[in-house]
Amino acid sequence: MKSKSAFGLLFFFLLGLLPFAAALVYALLYSLGIVGILSEGVSLTHWQQVIQSGELLGSFLYSALLAGTGVSLSVILALLISMGLRTSLQHRFWSLLMYFPLAIPGMVASFLSIQLLSKAGFFSRISMKLGWIDRLQEFPDWINDSYGIGIILTFVLIVSPFFVILFSNVYQNERIAELSTLAYSLGARGNQVFWQVTLPILFSKTKRIMILYFIFLLGSYEIPLVLGQESPQMLSVLIIRELKQFDLKLIPEGYVVAVAYTVVIAIAALLVFRRKEVQVHE
């Protein structure tokens, strides 16, 4: 049993951790000018340039804002759907309908958003037909816009179904229906049951997944590539843009952004996911 566990750990180290660590070390060396086609020896110049330009910080804050808004809206929408349609979601049809958006790739979802949300898109035309706007150009800018509305709505489209399924499962597994009945019996009213029982239990059981989804959206690429604007850009788009520059001397700056992003996320993840010792006394 012990040897099996050791073999598993070795396997995880060789296939999971080692390539990632090697890539990170390579990126760090590249960012410091130690490796690379045009390396000029150890230097902090690229780090200084990236930090001084403010683009990394801007991109990080912009990405965090969009990812945070996307996860928050998805969670709220999923809560409304999973609590409002609790009985319906147990039926196969509705359940399948919820699973369906999970199968849509980011790139496809992005083009779907363009079809729906652009000035020449579905909603724009419907709005004109209904007489809400006189010309298609009057429809608000939701694609490649400065507030990232198109990106956020697409995040919500692909993320919220996952949370609907998650909340529905947690609701059943944690026996929230019975706990709610108990709370009623102890004197709680409808809103007290929701705010003091349903919501805290759902959040306490899913908060880590919410954080993981935030990290996932923070590093998402296809959706901000298609629906985002030129500046600021989300982190992954910025990193790829920096790495594919024509000026080879500037490529280390791409690695600077990548290393900084990885280190910040790794530290944040370690802080969030550190486990506490739990003792059970029988």
Partner 1 sequence: MFLEIKQLSKSFQNDLIVDRLSLSLDQYRTLSILGKSGCGKTTLLKLIAGLETADQGSIRVNGEDMTGKTPAERKIVYLYQEDLLFPHLTVRGNIGFGLKLQKIPASDIKEQVDLMIQRLELQGQGDKMPHQLSGGQRQRVSFGRAIITNPRLLLLDEPFGSLDVGTRQRMQELFKELTALYGITSLFVTHDLKEAILMGDDIGLMKKGSLQVYLDKQDFLLDPLTGVRSEIEFWESLLKPNY
Interaction between residue 275 and partner 1 (CB under 8 A): no
CB atoms within 10 A of CB 31: 25
The region of 14-22, 134-142, 188-196, 226-234 touching partner 1 under the rule CB under 8 A is 188-196
Nearest approach in angstroms of CB 45 to partner 1 is 51
Alpha helices in the chain (DSSP H): 2-12, 18-31, 45-53, 55-84, 92-99, 106-117, 122-129, 149-173, 176-185, 190-193, 199-218, 222-227, 235-243, 251-273
Which 156-175 positions form the footprint of partner 1 (CB under 8 A)?
174-175
Contact between 9 and partner 1 per CB under 8 A:
no
| Stretch of 48-56, 161-169, 192-200, 236-244 lying at the interface with partner 1 (CB under 8 A) | 192-200
Q: Output DSSP code: residue 276.
A: P
Among 85, 201, 209, 265, binds partner 1 (CB under 8 A): 201
Angle separating helix axes 55-84 and 235-243, nearest 10 degrees: 140
The residue (of 160 and 206) whose beta carbon lies closer to partner 1 is: 206
Identity of the residue, 35 or 188, whose beta carbon is nearer to partner 1 in the bound complex: 188
Residue closer to partner 1, measured from CB, 15 or 175: 175
Q: How far is the CB of 205 from partner 1 (least distance, A)?
A: 8
End-to-end CA, the chain: 27
Residue of 37, 42, 96, 278 interacting with partner 1 (CB under 8 A): 278
- Should residue 207 be labelled a site residue for partner 1 when binding is judged by CB under 8 A? no
CA dihedral angle for residue 42, residue 47, residue 49, residue 50, rounded to 10 degrees? 150
* CB 170, min distance to partner 1, A: 11
Note whether 279 binds partner 1 by CB under 8 A: yes
Restricting to residues 88-117, which ones interact with partner 1 according to CB under 8 A?
Answer: none
Number of residues counted as binding partner 1 (CB under 8 A) = 24
Per CB under 8 A, 79 contacts partner 1: no
CA 106 distance to own-chain centroid: 12
- Residue 182 CB, nearest approach to partner 1 (Å): 6
- Specify whether the CB–CB gap between 130 and 148 falls below 8 A: no
Cα dist from 271 to 57, 102, 192, 236, 264, whole Å: 21, 29, 32, 23, 11
Calculate helix-pair angle for 18-31, 251-273, nearest 10 degrees.
Answer: 130
Contact 206, 166 (CB under 8 A): yes
Alpha helices (H) in 174-230, listed in sequence order: 176-185, 190-193, 199-218, 222-227
Q: Is residue 209 close enough to count as binding partner 1 by CB under 8 A?
A: no
Catalog residues that contact partner 1 under the rule CB under 8 A.
174-175, 178-179, 181-189, 192, 196-197, 200-201, 204, 278-282
